[in-house]
Amino acid sequence: MLERIQKILSAHGVASRREAERMILAGRVTVGGIAAVLGQSAEVGVDEIAVDGMPLASKEALVYIKLYKPRGYVTTMSDERGRKTVRSLVSDAGVRVYPVGRLDINSEGLLLMTNDGEFANMVMHPSYCKVKTYEVTVDGDASASVARMRRPMEIDGHQVHAASVKMIRRTDGGGVFRIAISEGRNRQIRKMCEQCGLRTLSLKRISIGTVTLGSLKSGQWKHLTEDERQSLVEIR
């Protein structure tokens, strides 16, 4: 059966579909020894598909992981600046898995990883978008900022609105919020806090939809249960 090459690469755990498209555009993918083009189709088992000169391996078992990403790790599989990556934390997973979405280097908490490109695309698609909840420690007048945090605000030209904002406790010089969002724009919570005159000291993602960190400690991972996996691909 003919399928788009980026879909084939994604289904075989080579990369997400979006990353596969970039690999094709970079000339890293060939079909029958000829550089593939974006939009091209091929048939697994009939056409000789290769990435960086290496033939496409047999499809691996699909793996779904939740990882407690520590601070100081970048959410990529390699880093040209030599920083620590989440890849090293899941090296014992048995297969190569890729992050679903991102957490910035100074944030910690729940990160999903998989070799199932279709699953990754579904989780990140707006139709399946799950509310993500964070615990955020800030410096500044936290009590006075609660009402402002609950109102819509503009971030990088887009209007965003937290699904919920709750102040858990006060601290010396600040406080701890529990903030839930659904948009997930780049550094959204840090920028929301900044607009309210607050400095983010720490940020931890504690859940995506109904999937939580549970008993995971920093740097640990475990396989998603089937119920957890299914909950992530249910249309909201």
Active site residues: 104
The continuous run of DSSP H or E covering 171 comes out as strand 164-171
- Alpha carbon of 124 to those of 48, 65, 119, 198: distances in Å? 30, 15, 9, 29
**Nearest partner of 101 among 183, 191, 1, 196, judged by Cα:** 183
Residue 88 DSSP one-character state: G
**Nearest partner of 38 among 17, 63, 55, judged by Cα:** 17
Residue with tokens 């030209």: 157
d(CA 117, CA 11): 6
Residue 101 CB partners (closer than 8 Å, separation 6+): 75, 111, 112, 123, 124, 184
> Are the CB atoms for 67 and 86 separated by under 8 Å?
yes
Residue 83 CB partners (closer than 8 Å, separation 6+): 72, 73, 74, 105
